[in-house]
Structure 1
Amino acid sequence: MPELRNNILTILGEDIGPGESREVNFDVANLHTSTPVNVPVIISRAKKPGPIVLFTAGIHGDEVNGVEIVRQLIAKGINKPKIGTIICIPVINVFGFINLKREFPDGRDLNRVFPGSPTGSLAARVAFKLVNEILPHVDIILDFHTGGSGRFNAPQLRYTKEDVELNNLAKAFGAPFVLYSKNLSKSFRTTCYKLGKPLLLFEGGKSNHIDDAVTSSGVNGSKRVLKYLGMLGVNFKSATPRKSTIFIDDSKWQRAKYSGMFKPEVTIGSYVDRRDVLGNITDPYGKFEYVVKAPNSGYIINVNESPIVYQGDALFHISTTLKH
């Protein structure tokens, strides 16, 4: 657990004592109009000591559903811990969020420049400040993302399979799916792993879209994790998930064999058998129709909701091997 001097948490130049709440600014650069851009960091501390948990979203500026999840944690007061400290950063890439763009204005993907640099690109500078001024203070991170390019993700957690601590946190979270996946080079998750900071990455929904079921899954899962850590406030309850989490060892993308108009027929999160009809690709003139069938039995954990697809585009993400 990070050390606190006389129980005072000093973060971004601000001293926050036990029982205090504070909003501090994570500032890096102004807009090109010289307008200041503030990235609010909301910090709430209980009087009793305990873990320091960081909730983050908006690493990609178009992933608004993750922002909505963290927003609800704050608006509902779930971020007021019974013990310990909760830090919320609802929008890390506020530059992209302003225009609902995935990348920074410099065209860089923030999630591919960690741990960043104090003299590098704008994205690299934000990554560096996050790693050096926020992460040293925290014990656990929950990072919220969504699918991109019109592809809708079933609510799921992602982390490496060997991590026992994350397995326990994932069981507490209770998302519909866990997809074991390798850490990507220069990602936020990889940097946290190297620093010994356990991070649960939540994926759900699609970019530029807010879905109530995805939001509910993220908020309820967060409450369960806080209860597991003994941090959930007395005014809140955490319901047991209606279904047990499905742990996926391996999966694959089914890609379009043809270009055309695309209509999926399968429900996200459902189980399909091999050769089941998943959707169809047609041309605009009524002369062509191709039926997309499941290449194997498994769970559908991502569906492409774009009405137009090109040959080679990812249509469905299907589980191939489940953990037993």
Structure 2
Amino acid sequence: MPQFNKNTITILGEEIPLGASREINFNIAKLHTGTKIEIPIIIERAKIPGPTILFTAGIHGDEINGVDIVRQLITRKINRPKRGTIICMPILNIFGFLNSTRAFPDGRDLNRMFPGSSNGSLASRVAHRLMHEIIPDVDLIIDFHTGGASRFNAAQIRIIKDHPELDELARIFGAPFVLYSNHIAKSFRNACYQLGKPILLYEGGKSFYVDNTISKVGVEGVKRILAHYGMLHHRIACSAPKRPTVFIEDSKWIRARQSGMFKSTVTVNTKVNIDDVLGQITDPYGKIFHEVKSTIEGYIINVNEASLVYQGDALFHITKQVRA
């Protein structure tokens, strides 16, 4: 990461000097009533120059576990750096957050609208302003997500392969797993990559739910990253991960072979072997009892917690090839 020594950074047109604390409102739109819709951006700059790190969450309005992680960074004053700059944006998709939906009011997924357009849809305009008025002065982004619908993700960092800098940062973060995944076209992660901005995507938990363990892993990972760059205050404790991070080279979904009432008997992070029973599918009439078994050996990194499933539904995500 470049060690920028900028005395002043510019966020949404406002110049912010070293040693300053700011809360800037990202004015993205108005309601039909004329009420402004604004996203608070919390900026903390130390007096000593250093990297600028951006923490974002809530790009999908139903992914509130990430919002809780960034909230904790602020309330516990972890976002006040010893050197450099920390920018926190707890909720990118304020519309979805307020309405308990994943997308923007027009049905668009903000995370498929990057790098955006100044003349496009509302989501596209928000993406465009984020990329042009906030990202340019940022050196590293950590973006917090959760699993979708009823699928509970193990705490994991997602990065692209063959980038040693990202491998190092992911190892420092110390989540239990690192999953190599390609960039998705028009995603925030891809847009940052195109600008040469390193980004770690943290996945953990599920939609509409806050899991304390997932939050703790996220907060502790942030502290390790800040400590690595000499940005974490000495008054804030930072511990090493309890176990080495597992890097996932390949993985496989175990899918339902029939429809019915589903109950998992294992949890995320569990190491399983071939033919281990993972759960069961039954019917309301007591005629069906089907055991879901693992077809591979590996760690479970996602569990579908839905009570009712259809044939073909993804039930368990299991690692196939891993390395320490």
Partner of 1:308 in structure 2?
A: 308
Q: CA deviation at 1:33?
A: 2.8
Q: Structure 2: which 5+ runs fail to align?
A: none
Output one character per residue of 1:100-124: Cα deviation in whole Å (capped at 9) or x when no partner: 1111111011111110111111111
* Aligned positions of 1:100-249 closer than 5 A: 100-249=100-249
Which amino acid is 1:299 matched to?
Answer: Y
Give the 3-state SS of the residue equivalent to 1:79 in structure 2: coil
Identity %: 59
- SS in structure 2 at match of 1:128: helix
Tell me the equivalent position of 1:62.
Answer: 62
Whether the aligned pair in 1 keeps the contact of 2:5 and 2:49 (CA below 8 Å) is no
**Stretches of 4+ aligned residues off by more than 4 angstroms:** 1-5
State the distance in 2 between where 1:297 and 1:131 align. Answer: 41
Q: Which amino acid aligns with 1:45?
A: R
Give the distance between the partners of 1:100 and 1:32, measured in 2 at CA. Answer: 19
Range with bigger deviation, 283-292 or 39-48: 283-292
CA contact (8 A) 2:4 2:50 kept: no
Where structure 1 has 5 or more consecutive residues not aligned to the other structure, the ranges are none
Deviations 1:262-294 (A, max 9, x none): 000012111000110000111111111111000
Match of 1:21 in 2: 21
Distance 1:320 1:228 in 2: 31
CA distance in 2 between counterparts of 1:99 and 1:284 reads 34
1:4 to partner: Cα distance: 7.2
**Conserved in 2, the CA contact under 8 Å of 1:63 and 1:206?**
yes
Q: Deviations over 1:189-227 (max 9, x none)?
A: 111111100000000000000000000000000000000
More divergent stretch after superposition (8-17 vs 96-105): 8-17
| Distance change in 2, residues 1:2/1:226 (3 Å) | closer
Shift of 1:152: 0.1
Q: How many correspondences in the alignment?
A: 323
Structure 1: distance between partners of 2:176 and 2:37: 36
**Partners of 1:2 and 1:136 within 8 A in 2:** no
What does residue 87 of structure 2 align with? Answer: 87
Q: Is residue 160–residue 182 contact of structure 1 (8 Å, CA) maintained in 2?
A: yes
Deviation of 1:171 after TM superposition, in Å, equals 1.1
RMSD of the alignment, in Å?
Answer: 1.2
Query: Separation in 2 of the partners of 1:131 and 1:2?
Result: 21
Q: Deviations over 1:217-238 (max 9, x none)?
A: 0000000000011111121121
Which sits farther off after the overlay, 8-17 or 162-171?
8-17
> Aligned partners of 2:301, 2:234: CA distance in 1, in Å?
34
Opposite residue 180 of structure 2, the aligned amino acid is: Y
Distance between the aligned counterparts of 2:231 and 2:113, measured in 1? Answer: 32
